Amino acid sequence: MIRPRLGEFEELVLMIVAIKHQDAYGVSVMDEILEKTGRKINISAVHTALDRLEQKKYLKSWIGGATKERGGRSKRFFDITAEGVAALEINRQLRNELFDLIPESVFQKK
């Protein structure tokens, strides 16, 4: 099993896109990250991560219809691919395996 190369922020963006499922676009991903994590991020960082994830074949994108409220501009929507789902599953499994190796005594130090 080849471990996908996903940074922490890329993994977060990929999970948010999966949560939003076909209704994910740059600003909605940014807003969801803020809501779910309290982490305020720059829209440029989100677009960069979305582009990288699409290059890695973890996301696919399409252009939606133009809207009046956006001044006639279209949104670029994203959705997770089968490869993206597999990457998340592999990372989750590895993280859980590592977490399970932490000795109980570590948790008793709280």
Q: How many domains does the chain have?
A: 1
Provide the domain limits for residue 12: 8-103
Residue 41 lies in a domain: yes
Residues in a beta bridge with 63: 76
- End-to-end Cα separation, the chain, in angstroms: 35
pLDDT of residue 68: 66
Q: What is the CATH number of the domain that holds 35?
A: 1.10.10.10
pLDDT of residue 69: 67
> pLDDT per position in the chain (110 positions), as tens?
567 889 999 999 999 999 999 899 999 999 999 999 999 999 999 999 999 999 999 999 999 876 666 666 789 999 999 999 999 999 999 999 999 999 988 988 76
Residue 108 lies in a domain: no
pLDDT of residue 1: 53
Residue 80 lies in a domain: yes
Residue 49: how many other CB atoms lie within 10 Å? 24
Return all residues near 20 (Cβ < 8 A) that are at least 6 apart.
Answer: 28, 29, 32
Residue 35 lies in a domain: yes
Residue 32 lies in a domain: yes
pLDDT of residue 65: 74
Sign of CA dihedral 73, 50, 20, 78: positive
pLDDT of residue 74: 85
Output the pTM of the full model. 0.86
pLDDT of residue 13: 98
Residue 44 lies in a domain: yes
pLDDT of residue 48: 97
Return all residues near 26 (Cβ < 8 A) that are at least 6 apart.
Answer: 43, 46, 47, 50, 76
